[in-house]
Amino acid sequence: MIYQADRDRAHYLNHSAVVVLELCDGRRSVSDIAESVRNVYGLATAPRRDVDDVLKKLGAEGLVADVLAPRPTRSGALRSARKGNG
């Protein structure tokens, strides 16, 4: 259950929706989330359409936003490490 105090609203999510919500960290794409769900449930293919549907419902309820933070590149991470050591 998720409670939104600002809307005085409770949301009861099934297990699959909780898995999707927990994977929404701002760094994973929808494809990444679908692939993770495939791994969690041992599915033959990633359930992209189902994940899209869950994300649309979560978004409509204000539980997730359509934001994808840029991933640091390996070279960017190395540059940052060198600056700190240098």
Three-state DSSP class for residue 4:
strand
Which has the closest alpha carbon to 18: 70, 46, 57, 76? 57
Condensed to tens digits (0 to 9), the pLDDT of residues 18-68 reads 999 999 998 999 999 999 999 999 999 999 999 999 999 999 999 998 766
pTM of the complete model beyond 0.75 = no
**Domain count along the chain:** 1
Three-state DSSP class for residue 86:
coil
The reported pLDDT for the residue numbered 69 is 60
The whole domain housing 9 covers: 2-85
The CATH number of the domain where 14 resides is what?
1.10.10
| CA atoms of 68 and 23, how far apart (whole Å) | 12
| CA atoms of 35 and 49, how far apart (whole Å) | 12
> Quick one: the chain helix, strand, coil %, rounded to 5?
55, 5, 35
